[in-house]
Structure 1
Amino acid sequence: MLRKILLPLVLLQLASALYAKDEIWIDFGVLPSGYAPEDGTYIRQYDPAPIQEGDETVVDYSNVYDPFTRAPQNLLPSRFANQTADSGNPAYDEMKLSLALDRWQVKLSSSSTNLSTKKSSEVVAYNVKDSSSRFAGEQIMAVHFSLPNLLVNSKAWVSPEFAIPAYSVDLSGVAKEDVNAKLQEDVRRPASERMGQFLNKGVLRNVGPIRSITVTVYGRRFPMNLFVEADHTDVGRRSYPFGSLEFSGWQDLVWTNSNYIVDVRKRKYNTSPEYPRGMPSMILRSLRLDRPIRAANESSSEVVFYIKQISVTYDNATPETFDTEIDDEHIWQLNTVDSQRHSYNQALNSRMNAVDRYMELQERHPAFPAQETTGEEAAADSEQPADSGQNEAEAPADQPAN
């Protein structure tokens, strides 16, 4: 009798385990690194790490595909409009952005931002000691920032220097006349890989109900709470809490979706057409570290943080056989065109970050070639908040991204 009861339960659990998919969302160990330490010492760099040869994470806003005109466009502001790869102007390279670890940024909440804390914020790539119990010799992200000794709830966001696009094709080095051929080549790839410049580098495709998210970090007993912020193409922005970093050594911090339905028979059946809905994507927005008011003292004013990777266990939003028998997208390209338009509009919204950073570097390094700032651009820059809007209202932490 007991066997008859337990056997279906075991089979159900096994079926659920097979149904779920475990993937690396982002591994900081495989991202490019522009700077290498000299004599084993890391030196604070005030300018962006140089773009490395073969960096597949580069975003160049002077060469963005415009699906409306079906041609590459230069989205840089007017004062950089003539910048091209052959212009010979060093400012052109400063307009390129990369997911390289050395180029990630730390942004503090407005109550914690001042000239001193801003200058002390830095992100570097670090290779773990060969004697480490985990990830020996591998690269991780190392973060340092300073917080004031004020009785406020301080926050810090660690994010790339651009918003990671859900859909993007690397067009660097592609001649204008070859762009359409490059895009057609991308359409012939499997649906889960199309327009996937940042797949498994902050982007996951075909994400349905999430079972859990795991963050692998190295703790130094800092009284900070860790959150991972994500953008979902189907349900919007979500913030996932991982608890306190008041521990020492390696730990796998896990967020578990309390609303995940293990029994697939009890899930609500989705009657929406599978095409052209496509495959919903999950995009890494930032890592957020919160210091509660109770921990605001001198011992918590200098913070260091180490992270290796983030993985997600989820169910597919669409079947694996989505395009194995009839490849809708290869015929109609509805998702491709929609994705290209979304990627283009996102580039329009985020391109100014490159220009803003370039202008900031000019103030630090007078040797940089001077560029004129128009009145409209100067006014737009002055309206930007200290934390770039990262502390806007969020969805409750316990709401799953299903």
Structure 2
Amino acid sequence: MKKTLVLSAALMTLVGLSSFAEERTLIDFTTLKADTAVYPQNEDGSSSDEQKPNQNGRTLMDYRKAAGASFTKDQKELMKSSLAITQWEVVLNSSARTVSSLALSQVREAPSKAFDTVMGVRVVFPTGAYNANAKIVPPFSIPAYEPYGELDENGDRKAAESGDGESSGPKWLFEADDPSDKASPAYGLVKNVGTIKKIAVTTMGMNFPHALYVLLSDTDGVERRYFMGYLGFDGWKTLEWNNPEYISEVRTREIRVYPIYPRGEPFAKFEGFQICRDAAHIGDDFIGYFKDVKIIYDKANLETERDIADEDIWGIIGRKESARQALEMSRFGNKQVNRYVEQRKMAVEEDFTPTIDANNSAAAQSNGGQAAN
């Protein structure tokens, strides 16, 4: 009888702890493969069949609204960006930023036998004896308040249709396709996040001694970095960060009570990775591969049935989130437009146009021979 009581108490303890936190995939790079082509059209208005996909349709963003009136319609049609793997960037710190390292440090799709397609990263660190680091960041800060909508045949996002009073898709674009399904990966954004208990990264080590950090931001715009470990191993491995200040015993927690309405949902947003190379370690090329990032966290708010639909009456959260969304789009659009302008100014020629072709050269040699005679 005593053993039964002990086992029952232990089982209740495990059940309580397992329901205390929730696991979610914050971002899965296997879902960010390029599958949509966004290129300039041909002179006849058609798109070339040889153009390869360069954007990810699920996360495609349109920033032409921030472009102004000085651009043509065709130019604005190209002002789209996404979280496609090839669109991610390597940002070097000042001690590592040289012309060659800026040109060679890049992100590419990496075919994997185990996971189909993952993120591959190349960073060129300095060979001198001084510290250096590099951030692998998305092409834009992931918007937390961008509404979800299906893409039409032109690559434009339509407003989500609703039926029977319920939305047919997720509320926000970068959330999971099915936020109620724990197995559905998000696209860099998880809502209703309280205290983070654990973070996990699935990465392939290449015996590099460098340190790996995960960068996350919260509702207040505060960015934090979490030390995941060192990459001095070979093969796929899951690196974990465990919150040393996480309190599992509810009786020793500080209980805080907040007003239920009107508070927006706290969230966790993926800001990228950071690779740190110590001065005592080898420099030059670094190669790394990443599959996904997962988090285990406490819910910020419990999902309960409310007698009154507060938001339908007051609309306070909607107005706040609309203002934040407009601010996010403004920052996102300005950055992308400036990059678009710079891209259009870049030289596209790989070599000089030959002054003398093969026919002219043969004619010149023939005329030279006649003149000699």
User: Per the shorter chain, which TM-score range?
Assistant: 0.7 to 0.9
User: Which amino acid in the other structure matches residue 22 of structure 2?
Assistant: K
Corresponding residue number in structure 2 for 1:18? 19
Corresponding residue number in structure 2 for 1:51? 55
Corresponding residue number in structure 2 for 1:70? none
CA distance in 2, matches of 1:105, 1:276: 37
Corresponding residue number in structure 2 for 1:109? 93
Percent identity, aligned pairs only, is 28
Instruction: String of CA shifts for 1:36-91, please: whole Å, max 9, x gaps.
Output: 9xxxxxxxxxx996336xx12111122xxxxxxxxxxx2224533xx5xxx2x2x3
Corresponding residue number in structure 1 for 2:172? 195
Deviation at 1:339, TM superposition (A): 1.3
Corresponding residue number in structure 1 for 2:130? 152
Corresponding residue number in structure 1 for 2:331? 349
Q: How does 1:83-232 map to 2 (within 5 A)?
A: 83=72, 87=73, 89=74, 91-129=75-113, 136-170=114-148, 182=159, 185=162, 189=166, 193-199=170-176, 200-232=186-218
Deviation at 1:267, TM superposition (A): 2.0
SS in 1 for 2:12: helix
Taking only aligned residues, the RMSD between alpha carbons, in angstroms, comes to: 3.1
Query: Which structure would you say has the larger RCO, counting Cα contacts within 8 Å and 6 or more residues apart?
Result: 1
- CA gap of 1:234–1:353, structure 2 versus 1, over 3 A, is closer
Deviation at 1:30, TM superposition (A): 0.9
Decide which of 307, 311, 330 is 2:294's aligned counterpart. Answer: 311
1:289 aligns with 2:267: no
Deviation at 1:210, TM superposition (A): 1.3
CA distance in 2, matches of 1:214, 1:330: 38
Instruction: String of CA shifts for 1:272-304, please: whole Å, max 9, x gaps.
Output: 112111321111111111101111x3xx31011
SS in 2 for 1:19: coil
CA distance in 2, matches of 1:240, 1:77: 39
Q: Would you say the 8 A contact 2:149–2:173 is kept in 1?
A: no
Q: Would you say the 8 A contact 2:150–2:160 is kept in 1?
A: no
Q: Would you say the 8 A contact 1:217–1:307 is kept in 2?
A: yes
SS in 2 for 1:282: strand
SS in 1 for 2:95: helix
Corresponding residue number in structure 2 for 1:40? none
User: Which amino acid in the other structure matches residue 110 of structure 1?
Assistant: S
- CA gap of 1:264–1:361, structure 2 versus 1, over 3 A, is same
Corresponding residue number in structure 2 for 1:338? 320
SS in 2 for 1:79: coil
Taking structure 2 as the reference length, the TM-score comes to 0.77
- CA gap of 1:318–1:189, structure 2 versus 1, over 3 A, is farther
CA distance in 2, matches of 1:201, 1:108: 24
Instruction: String of CA shifts for 1:95-148, please: whole Å, max 9, x gaps.
Output: 21111111111111111112211111221122212xxxxxx2522111112112
Instruction: String of CA shifts for 1:303-349, please: whole Å, max 9, x gaps.
Output: 1110000111111110122x565443344332222112111112212
User: Which amino acid in the other structure matches residue 67 of structure 2?
Assistant: L
Deviation at 1:234, TM superposition (A): 4.5
User: Which amino acid in the other structure matches residue 95 of structure 1?
Assistant: M
CA distance in 2, matches of 1:350, 1:59: 10
CA distance in 1, matches of 2:163, 2:222: 26
User: Which amino acid in the other structure matches residue 282 of structure 1?
Assistant: A
1:30 aligns with 2:31: yes
User: Which amino acid in the other structure matches residue 88 of structure 2?
Assistant: W
- Unaligned runs of 5+ residues in structure 1 are 37-46, 63-73, 130-135, 368-402
User: Which amino acid in the other structure matches residue 156 of structure 1?
Assistant: A
Corresponding residue number in structure 2 for 1:61? 63
SS in 2 for 1:345: helix
Q: Would you say the 8 A contact 1:57–1:198 is kept in 2?
A: no
Decide which of 292, 299, 311 is 1:329's aligned counterpart. Answer: 311
Instruction: String of CA shifts for 1:234-289, please: whole Å, max 9, x gaps.
Output: 47221111011111111110000111111223222221112111321111111111
Pairs aligned (count) = 321
Decide which of 230, 237, 244 is 1:251's aligned counterpart. Answer: 237
CA distance in 1, matches of 2:264, 2:291: 31
Deviation at 1:186, TM superposition (A): 10
Corresponding residue number in structure 1 for 2:182? none
Q: Would you say the 8 A contact 1:187–1:330 is kept in 2?
A: no
- CA gap of 1:188–1:258, structure 2 versus 1, over 3 A, is farther
- Unaligned runs of 5+ residues in structure 2 are 38-50, 177-185, 350-373
Decide which of 252, 260, 270 is 1:266's aligned counterpart. Answer: 252
